């Protein structure tokens, strides 16, 4: 017997349920679930698959799925219902992405800002790791990293930006610092439109440590790779919430 052709909804569900790859499991899982919701594959009022099933499809831990669902609930996208017919349901109506001053950002604007950021900041990490650093420079970089790790929500974005700009300063290029500062302003406008998620902050701080350690160790390839992974995590969140 010939099996029925898959429905468009089934193909979409399969596409968004492919295994998560790379080191940004939380961010990628959250982005996938946001795609399911915002593209209507799981419409308002319908339930997401159980945590165990989502974890198996995405090949991540149930803890990762649980953290992603908790973040979605805090952002107003889903709600938990108890009882015989309980589960995690998509809220109705859905929240709109947070808007800053001015017009709503387009997918092309998000893509452009993230592409420029990747080119600049991966290069800055590589250049910083390739530069002989003084003791004062090494101490300053480590201090910036500790400040971000200890920051509260109100200060996190500013101190995170300062750490990233420090890498450009260590590379010794005023032009690179200026370009990164301009791009970071664009990126922060986008970041201000999405929730500040504790699991993502914890993950970002771990990645900051790997980036800084690679720079201090003079490992240019390692610094570039760690920065690329770090930026892709943030890009996943922005694409999920805004694109």
**Which pLDDT value is given to residue 6?**
42
CB 170 within 8 A of CB 141: yes
Whether 96 is covered by a domain: the verdict is: no
**Which pLDDT value is given to residue 4?**
47
- CATH code for the domain of 40: 1.10.10.10
Residues 19-33 have pLDDT tens digits of 887 789 999 999 889
Same domain (yes/no): 125, 221? yes
Cα–Cα distance, 156 to 146 (Å, whole number)? 11
Is pLDDT larger for residue 99 or for residue 81? 81
Residues 122-181 have pLDDT tens digits of 999 999 999 999 999 999 999 999 999 999 887 898 899 999 999 999 998 889 998 998
Residue 68 has pLDDT above 90, yes or no: yes
Same domain (yes/no): 172, 198? yes
The region that residue 101 occupies, defined by phi over 0 for left and psi between -120 and 50 for alpha, beta otherwise, is beta
Whether 15 is covered by a domain: the verdict is: yes
Residues 178-230 have pLDDT tens digits of 899 889 989 988 998 888 899 999 999 999 999 999 999 999 999 999 999 99
Q: Kindly indicate the confidence band of residue 12, based on its pLDDT and cuts at 50, 70 and 90.
A: low
Residue span of the structural domain in which 111 resides: 107-242
Residue 235 has pLDDT above 50, yes or no: yes
């Amino acid at each position: 017997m010939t099996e029925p052709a898959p429905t468009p909804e089934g193909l979409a569900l399969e596409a968004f349920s492919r295994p998560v790859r790379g080191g940004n499991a939380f961010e990628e899982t959250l982005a996938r679930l946001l795609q399911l919701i915002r593209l209507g594959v799981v419409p308002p009022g319908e339930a997401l698959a159980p945590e165990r099933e989502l974890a198996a499809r995405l090949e991540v831990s149930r803890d990762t799925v649980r953290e992603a669902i908790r973040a979605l609930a805090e952002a107003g996208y889903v709600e938990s219902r108890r009882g015989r017919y309980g589960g995690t349901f998509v809220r109705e109506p859905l929240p709109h992405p947070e808007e800053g001053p001015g017009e709503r950002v387009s997918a092309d604007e998000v893509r452009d800002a993230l592409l420029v950021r990747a080119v600049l900041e991966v290069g800055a990490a590589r250049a910083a790791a390739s530069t002989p650093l003084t003791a004062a420079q090494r101490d300053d970089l480590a201090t910036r990293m500790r400040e971000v790790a200890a920051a509260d929500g109100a200060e996190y974005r500013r101190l995170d930006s300062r750490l990233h700009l420090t890498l450009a300063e260590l590379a010794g290029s005023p032009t690179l610092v200026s370009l990164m500062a301009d791009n970071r302003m664009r990126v922060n406008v986008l970041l201000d439109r999405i929730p500040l998620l504790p699991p993502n902050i914890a993950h970002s701080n771990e990645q900051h440590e790997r980036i800084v350690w690679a720079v201090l160790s003079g490992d240019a390839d390692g610094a570039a790779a760690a920065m690329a992974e770090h930026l892709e995590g943030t890009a996943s969140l922005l694409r999920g919430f805004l694109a």
